[in-house]
Amino acid sequence: MYHRPMNQAKERNSLSVALVGSGGAGVVTVGNLLLEAAAVDGSYGLMRRSAGPQIRGGESAALLRFADAPVECGGDYYHLVIAFDWRHAERFIDEIPLTAASWVLHDPAGGDVPEPIAGSGARLMPIEMQTQAREIEYGRANMIALGLVSSITGLKLTNISRIVSRSLATKGEDAVAGAGACIARGADIGRSLDIELPIPIAQGGVDDRWTITGNQACGLGALKGGVRFAAGYPITPASEMLEWLAPRLAKTGGCLIQAEDELAAVNMIVGASYGGVPAMTVTSGPGLALMTEGIGLAVASETPIVVIDVMRGGPSTGIPTKSEQTDLNIALYGMHGEAPHVVVAPVSVADSIFTVQWAVHLAESLQTAVIVLSDQLMAQSRMVANRPPDVGFITRRVTAQAGAEKYRRYALSVDGVSAMAIPGTTGLSYTADGLEHDERGTPSTGSQDHLQQLEKRAAKLSGFDYGEHWADIEGHGSIAVLTWGSCTGAVKEAIRRVAEQGVAVRLIALRLLAPLCTQRLNQALEGANRVLVVEQTFSRQFYHYLRSQVDLPVCTQCLARPGPLPLSPGEITAMLMADEA
Amino acid sequence: MNPLPDKSHPKVYKSDVKPVWCPGCGDFGVLNAITKALASQRLPPERVALISGIGCSSRVPAYTKVYGFHGIHGRALALGAGLKAARPDLNVLVAGGDGDGFSIGGNHFLHACRRNMDMTYIVMDNEVYGMTKGQASPTTAPDWTQSELTPSGTHARPFQPAAIALAAGATFIARAFSGKPNTLAQMIVLAMQHPGFSFIQVLSPCPTFRPEQKDWKNIIRPFAVDALPTGDPALAALHCQRDDGMSTGVIYVEARPVWRRSNMQEVAIEDIEREFRL
């Protein structure tokens, strides 16, 4: 197991529950039902997913954490583990840290408790979930577990029953009745155990709360931003976003094409956007690698596109089902030639809505390619969130109107943006080109045209006012943490913990990775004499990128780890407190 | 849409950009045929989009006055498919060469045939890579030794565009000769008016790297069978296989449902957001 320095001082009031079992055992189903039931009871929560490569029979874990305020990361340790079986446990056991205070309820039919679990000091309790389920008509072990967890955590059984009936409605009355009987049996067992691990409940009504996954949030942000065409090729862990979008694009007057490959997908969205329709593709690392030439075409031809990359472990096929932040370099530097473009990243599951909506706005306003970096951790996590406020980005592409005199598609302008004629506009036809061109779009190999168009494409991005959205900044301490993406949640929690110990730390979580707002970043760093860079990579890509762009204090450290093990608040707290002791 | 006057002239569709093509290049004939086909349909230039990839022939959009996109090598069909899906109201033409369409873009060719979107694909086939100075293409004969890259030939069986289009599901397949621009123009009109994916392989000589193709004008002839065009794929396959690849005409026409986007009842974003509420 990974041995990591941990500082758990003042861990927030939360409850972490892990459900593990072979793929097909239904752990994700139970996890979703638990999250929903807890949300209806008034708790906030987050469910992450850890899965193996197999569709059936591989390992699978639903990792839940509940609290009385929105949860944006996993906790340091798990309070409760429900294990149906231990198949391939070695592949995910690192992701479920335990202490002597933890409870492990395991089905003895699922095999012996593996050494790392048994040796953790956690309290073990065999529960014959499969046997119990077999005694009930249409019984399933995962529903026994649902009842068990509900009674241990104090969830209202009436809410559980209602949610289960609704979600199993399509499977018929027998299935619902069987599940109900299993939940009651599980709850009875739970009550007999004398284990109480209550789920924290938040104040206030739940009417304005949502449950949403990162993949759904990205899709919703795209729709809100005005995307009405998407093309994509199936890839883990991004396919769910395409599947969510396909029917909803059709319902909002748009369409989605399943392309023959990623090369086609990116070129299809360039074609659609050339036709005047805001367009997007969704992929993961290997797909992004295939798309880079097409993204360069969007930059050169000044065609707005949005590319969402749901990062996973790399290189090559890597770890398709687990998270990493290692596509930062390819997103920043992947294109050949000099192709200024925008790279953004959401800082939480719920922020994916805002960030993608903003990405569409930036692409359309700047007539360039915008890459959004999500990752498996965020994309496949489901979060209970307060209903996000509507943001009023009016997607505005500067278009040329019929009757324009001496139209030049790539005319040099003060802000670098030139009016785009949409096919169908009389008298303004032009040829968009990936070849270097003059202001009219006519191919040119001349040094003057090349320099002018390079300057034009760069000026669009460097002169744009990105406003306050470039980063999330909190606090004023002399210590600053620089981070991005899915690391942000754990960093925020660590900062709150050290604040309770009297150490003020400021957070700078970048939403706009490129172009980097160096002036604003320098301002945000003013007065900070110690900086900690936190990222989920092996080679410290983010740290090196920041080093190349801004002067960081001499006392700058980097907490970096490759996937799939997310950085925990306790580890970040330990790092922050190291010099304060 | 404002239809043009009856006597619309092909010149209306030509731009003032001078082609990069060598003197005697077959692609001049194809450019003429395209503009003639548009003129004869009296299509307003702004209702037409001509999409291409990379190569000598892919330069064609800039030489016209319709909306054009000169994209990247091999991806013209994807670019065109995205445009057509987003803008079904436009007449989408995709054009390029044999390397662009059958080698680097071969996968998109197969899937464009299958998808049967309402667009027309014109491939100017000269059996050579011209822009990179004379390498063998997928349609080059296996024993052609004039390229330094393959000094003893490719030893690979030439790609058979019509037969492959047929197997992949294209619903309009034709072969033509750039030296007969009027016939080609008529064929382009038929292709554009065909509902679904229409494919025309145009034999278009390269006088620079394949000077022997100057003789094509003496070899190329119409298909000598009355059976064509046919809607029977087995019959079309038979004639494709029996032919030496130098017979011209419409080979295959099939009425098959055209790709279309689903037209659902429109809902507002707020309705979609409702699914996330507890």
pLDDT digit string, tens, across residues A142-167: 999 999 999 999 999 999 999 999 99
State chain A's mean pLDDT as an integer: 95
pLDDT tens sequence across A31-43 = 999 999 999 999 9
Residue A579's pLDDT band, with cuts at 50, 70 and 90, is confident
Q: Cβ contacts (< 8 Å) between A40 and chain B: which residues?
A: 278
Backbone angles phi, psi at A372, to 5 degrees: -105, 125
Instruction: Give the number of C-alpha atoms closer than 13 A to the C-alpha of residue A457, restricted to the C-beta side.
Output: 27
**A491 neighbors A483 (Cβ within 8 angstroms):** yes
**Mean pLDDT across the stretch A334-346?**
98
Q: Which of A268, A275, A443 sits opposite B62 (nearest CB)?
A: A443
Residue A2 has pLDDT above 70, yes or no: no
Q: Which candidate in A260, A305, A438, A440 is best for mutational testing of the B interface (most B CBs within 10 A)?
A: A260
Q: Any idea what the CATH number is for the domain that residue B131 is in?
A: 3.40.50.970
Q: Which of A261, A272, A427 sits opposite B83 (nearest CB)?
A: A272
- Name the closest residue on chain B to residue A163, using Cα atoms: B278
**A279 neighbors A273 (Cβ within 8 angstroms):** yes
Say whether residue A383 is in contact with chain B using an 8 A CB cutoff.
Answer: no
Quick one: angle between helices B161-168 and B233-242, nearest 10? 160
Say whether residue A386 is in contact with chain B using an 8 A CB cutoff.
Answer: no
- Name the closest residue on chain B to residue A429, using Cα atoms: B67
Question: Would you say residue B169 lies in a domain?
Answer: yes
Smallest CA–CA distance, residue A434 to chain B, in Å, is 6
Residue B3 has pLDDT above 60, yes or no: no
Per the structure, the complete domain to which residue B134 belongs is given by 18-276
Domains, chain A = 14-193 (3.40.920.10), 211-386 (3.40.50.970), 398-464 (no CATH), 468-577 (3.40.50.920)
Q: Cβ contacts (< 8 Å) between A252 and chain B: which residues?
A: 266-269, 272
Per-residue model confidence (pLDDT) at position A1: 46
CB pairs under 8 A between A and B: 175
Question: Would you say residue B54 lies in a domain?
Answer: yes
Residue A11's pLDDT band, with cuts at 50, 70 and 90, is confident
Backbone angles phi, psi at A542, to 5 degrees: -65, -45
pLDDT tens sequence across B135-175 = 999 999 999 999 999 999 999 999 999 999 999 999 999 99
Interface of A with B in 294-353 (CB under 8 A): 294, 296-297, 301
Cβ separation B264–A263 shorter than 8 A: no
Paired residues of A534 in beta bridges:
A483, A559
Cα A330 to Cα A318: distance, rounded to the nearest angstrom? 15
Residue B1 has pLDDT above 50, yes or no: no
Cα B232 to Cα B203: distance, rounded to the nearest angstrom? 24
Smallest CA–CA distance, residue B66 to chain A, in Å, is 6
Q: How far is CA A404 from CA A9, A275, B59, B61, B90, in A?
A: 66, 19, 26, 21, 21
State chain B's mean pLDDT as an integer: 96
pLDDT tens sequence across A171-213 = 999 999 999 999 999 999 999 999 999 999 999 999 999 999 9
Question: Would you say residue B104 lies in a domain?
Answer: yes
- Name the closest residue on chain B to residue A251, using Cα atoms: B266
The three-state DSSP-derived secondary structure of B167-207 is: HHCCCEEEEEECCCHHHHHHHHHHHHHCCCCEEEEEECCCC
Cβ separation B269–A206 shorter than 8 A: no
Q: How far is CA B73 from CA A337, A435, B21, in A?
A: 16, 11, 18
CB atoms within 10 A of CB A475: 16
Total domain count, chain B:
1
Per-residue model confidence (pLDDT) at position A4: 66
- Name the closest residue on chain B to residue A248, using Cα atoms: B272
Cα B89 to Cα B92: distance, rounded to the nearest angstrom? 9
Which is more confidently placed, B4 or A153? Answer: A153
Backbone angles phi, psi at A56, to 5 degrees: -120, 135
- Whole-angstrom Cα Rg for chain A: 25
Q: Which of A40, A228, A264 sits opposite B78 (nearest CB)?
A: A264
Cα A50 to Cα A52: distance, rounded to the nearest angstrom? 7
Handedness of CA B34, B21, B74, B163 (dihedral sign): positive
**A444 neighbors A408 (Cβ within 8 angstroms):** no
Identify the burial level of A426 via C-beta atoms within 10 angstroms of its C-beta, where 0-12 means exposed, 13-18 middle and 19 or more buried.
middle
Helix (H, G, I), strand (E, B) or coil at A445: coil
Specify the residue for token string 């479920």. A96
Residue A567 has pLDDT above 70, yes or no: yes
Question: Would you say residue B213 lies in a domain?
Answer: yes
Question: Would you say residue B13 lies in a domain?
Answer: no
Smallest CA–CA distance, residue B236 to chain A, in Å, is 26
Q: Cβ contacts (< 8 Å) between A293 and chain B: which residues?
A: 72
Question: How many angstroms from the chain centroid is the CA of residue B224?
Answer: 23
Cβ separation B86–A272 shorter than 8 A: yes
This complex has an ipTM of: 0.97
Per-residue model confidence (pLDDT) at position A92: 87
Question: Would you say residue B253 lies in a domain?
Answer: yes
The three-state DSSP-derived secondary structure of chain B is: CCCCCCCCCHHHHECCCCCCCCCCCCHHHHHHHHHHHHHHCCCCHHHEEEEECCCCHHHHHHHECCEEEECCCCCHHHHHHHHHHHCCCCEEEEEEEHHHHHHHCHHHHHHHHHHCCCCEEEEEECCCECCCCCECCCCCCCCCCCCCCCCCCCCCCCCCHHHHHHHHCCCEEEEEECCCHHHHHHHHHHHHHCCCCEEEEEECCCCCCCHHHHHHHHHCEECCCCCCCECCHHHHHHHHHHCCCCEEEEEEECCCCCCCCCCCCCCCHHHHHHHHEC
**Mean pLDDT across the stretch A372-396?**
91
Per-residue model confidence (pLDDT) at position A9: 64
Cβ separation A264–B111 shorter than 8 A: yes
Identify the burial level of B242 via C-beta atoms within 10 angstroms of its C-beta, where 0-12 means exposed, 13-18 middle and 19 or more buried.
exposed
Say whether residue A271 is in contact with chain B using an 8 A CB cutoff.
Answer: yes
CB atoms within 10 A of CB A471: 21
Shortest CA distance to B53 belongs to which of B6, B107, B105?
B105
Largest CA distance in chain A: 84
Q: Cβ contacts (< 8 Å) between B80 and chain A: which residues?
A: 271
Residue B200 has pLDDT above 50, yes or no: yes
Quick one: angle between helices B27-40 and B181-193, nearest 10? 50
Q: Cβ contacts (< 8 Å) between B90 and chain A: which residues?
A: 275, 423-424
Helix (H, G, I), strand (E, B) or coil at A142: helix
Percent of chain A with pLDDT over 70: 98
Residue A284 has pLDDT above 60, yes or no: yes
Cβ separation B111–A228 shorter than 8 A: no
Say whether residue A427 is in contact with chain B using an 8 A CB cutoff.
Answer: yes
Residue A315's pLDDT band, with cuts at 50, 70 and 90, is very high
Question: Would you say residue B10 lies in a domain?
Answer: no
**Mean pLDDT across the stretch B228-240?**
97
Cα A307 to Cα A331: distance, rounded to the nearest angstrom? 10
Per-residue model confidence (pLDDT) at position B79: 98
**B146 neighbors B134 (Cβ within 8 angstroms):** yes
Q: How far is CA B79 from CA A436, B47, B161, B218, in A?
A: 19, 17, 20, 36
Residue B5 has pLDDT above 60, yes or no: no
Smallest CA–CA distance, residue B260 to chain A, in Å, is 10
pTM over 0.90: yes
Helix (H, G, I), strand (E, B) or coil at A290: helix
Q: What is the enclosing helix (H) or strand (E) of A67? A: strand A59-67
Cα B219 to Cα A34: distance, rounded to the nearest angstrom? 75
Question: Would you say residue B73 lies in a domain?
Answer: yes
Query: At a CB cut-off of 8 Å and minimum separation 6, what does A521 contact?
Result: A471, A508, A510, A549, A550
Per-residue model confidence (pLDDT) at position A276: 98
Smallest CA–CA distance, residue B5 to chain A, in Å, is 15
